[in-house]
Amino acid sequence: IAIESGAAETLLITTSFISRRKQEDSFGEINHLMQQAESTSAKVVIVNSNNDAGRHLDGLSGIAAILRYRLN
């Protein structure tokens, strides 16, 4: 919802999340989401799962967004 509405400033995705999606043959959905984010001028940041930040994000699902404004 945040991506579609343009509320996301930054989309964060871990390398492990991307790998899992590729293995499950559902990377197309993530690729579409990344393209949608870029089309609303959001930054797409791929976080290495081998560092602390990546491990923390993987613990929260592997994908997150930093918002420009609060959603109701």
Could you read off the pLDDT of 30-67 as tens digits, one per residue? 999 999 999 999 999 999 999 999 999 999 999 999 99
**Torsion angles phi and psi, residue 51, rounded to 5:** -110, 175
Q: Which amino acid appears at position 34 of this protein?
A: M
The whole-model pTM stands at 0.89
Backbone CA torsion sign across 27, 65, 16, 43: positive
- The string of pLDDT tens digits covering residues 6-37 is 999 999 999 999 999 999 999 999 999 999 99
CB-CB contact of 42 with 13 (8 Å): no
Q: How confident is the model at residue 72 (pLDDT cuts 50, 70, 90)?
A: confident
Separation between Cα atoms, residue 33 and residue 13, nearest integer Å: 11
Separation between Cα atoms, residue 39 and residue 50, nearest integer Å: 29
